[in-house]
Chains A and B, each alone.
Chain A
Amino acid sequence: MIPRYQTILFIVLLVASVAMGGVLWNLRERAHQRLVAGQDSAPTQAPAVAPAEQATLVVANDDDNTLLQQAQSLPLPQDPGQRARAILGKLLDLYAAPGSAHPVPGGAGSVAQVFLLPASSQNSDPGAASGNSKASSAIPRAEDKTAVPKLGDSIPDDTRPLLAVVNLTGAFVAGHPSGIETETLTVLSLCGTLHANLPRVTQVRFLVDGQPRATLAGHADLTRTYLATDDVAQP
């Protein structure tokens, strides 16, 4: 004869086991749904055949610490963000080529995205002084980070200045040579190239794998907003 208390205990344990099984099944379903939602199931955009256009690259040279304009012909998409990414990709391809005067590994795939956002008027002070060398014209601003517009903001009319947010890959940053000169030249050549081809871009910020980062490779400050002016595009 099974005692009554043992029967009750068995029933309680059975109910608890069933309930825990149900909770586990529910958690498993929710985890599965999260994984499915995390996958980018959007259809990839078919590559459009774009005609070759002239682009101006501001190319760095480590030997004399200068930035010089260089015209390149390459197919460019119509979308401004993708256009900026293609141009910067071409610039980084030059740096990754053998014999480059500014050797930086990585190439075109090092720019993950370029977002173009309306620049806040607080940051669009063109009167900020420029440096005394060609390599110093894209000067940083140290305003607070809250001034950066949200990614959802629409690009306004064709006259307002733009802020370009360049999202670099972690692999590019990890492989970038360390040094004040080489890092500064990379940052300034990216800023100058953006402004030379998209004159409305007057400010540039950098992200690495979508996150803010203190420096490029231990030296050049990436927490600042860089002002891209006409000076840097001058030969």
Chain B
Amino acid sequence: MHSTKSVSMRALGRRPLIVALVAMVAAAGLLAGTATAQTEPATAAPQSRFVVVLDAAHGGDDPGGRLTGGISEKAFTLALSVRLRSLLAARGIQVVTTRESDSTMEPNRRADIANHANAQACLSLHATETGSGVHLYASSLPPVEPARFAAFKTAQAGWVTRSLALAGVVNSSLLGAGISVKLGRTALLAVDSMTCPAVAVEIAPKSPPDRATGAPPAADLDDPDYQARIAEALAAALLEWRTEAREP
């Protein structure tokens, strides 16, 4: 009887300790949860682990634009993402994709995946039937000094300088492959929340539409050779980017 009482008293005496331990575990979990809002300094030292995030835009209920040839933007971007993932994996680059199927995905979720991957490059893949060549867009957020914590909607602001550098590398690679490129800056919901060097890559037809005759653009977006050249050029650019990132 006495020993039972003493055991229960000891248990009562340990209860505050258990509560404190549980509180510490909960606090650690909260800290881990806020990691999505943290931004690593854009000038962080090169890391041995090189991860690329491929974001195939649209999907599911959001078909994106209707491209010439009857294909939807969501199908085109997914096919390009799969092709590019294979090329990068063959070159030993770890790839994280935001979607692998025709599924609906909110912009915040895409950014969340990219931010958790701690990637060294993020490409948001798009397609359009307006314009020509490849359009490269970095975020138009004004660059700011990297901060430990950043607002989710403008988290890219601390990475804009690196994103512009990545756009330059991709631009050089595409031009080298004989593909015309247009550079710009824009406001995209997913990209503006990413904490990695991020570039939106928009694939347009090889040649612009003939405005004089009003003829539609050539259906060359589904040209396998054109797609292969672009994918190869993007893979080469990311290899170059990895080399630059590893240089001291």
Given A98-B214, A99-B212, A142-B154, verify A178-B64 contact (CB < 8 Å).
yes
Mark the stretch among B23-31, B128-136, B237-245 that contacts chain A. Answer: B128-136
Contact check, A177 vs B140: say whether CB atoms are below 8 A apart: no
Q: Is B189 interfacial (CB-CB < 8 Å)?
A: yes
Q: How large is the interface on A (under 10, 10 to 19, 20 to 34, 35 or more residues)?
A: 35 or more
Given A180-B200, A182-B130, verify A64-B188 contact (CB < 8 Å).
no
Q: Give the interface SS of chain A, mostly helix, strand, loop or mixed.
A: loop
B residues in contact with A180, CB < 8 Å: 126, 128, 135, 137, 186, 188, 200, 202
Cα separation A4 to B58 with both chains bound (whole Å)? 74
Most buried by A among B64, B185, B204: B185
Cα separation A223 to B192 with both chains bound (whole Å)? 12
Q: Which of B188-246 contact A (CB under 8 A)?
A: 188-189, 192, 200, 202, 204, 208, 211-212, 214
Q: Which of B58-114 contact A (CB under 8 A)?
A: 58, 62, 64-66, 73
Whole-angstrom distance between the Cβ of B226 and the nearest chain A Cβ: 17
Q: Is B184 interfacial (CB-CB < 8 Å)?
A: yes
Contact check, B182 vs A140: say whether CB atoms are below 8 A apart: no
Contact check, A136 vs B130: say whether CB atoms are below 8 A apart: no
Nearest to B183 among chain A residues (CB) is A133
Cα separation A140 to B157 with both chains bound (whole Å)? 11
Which of A98, A136, A221, A224 is close to B185, meaning CB atoms less than 8 Å apart? A136
Q: B residues within 8 Å of A by Cβ?
A: 58, 62, 64-66, 73, 126, 128-132, 135, 137, 140-143, 151, 153-154, 164, 182-189, 192, 200, 202, 204, 208, 211-212, 214
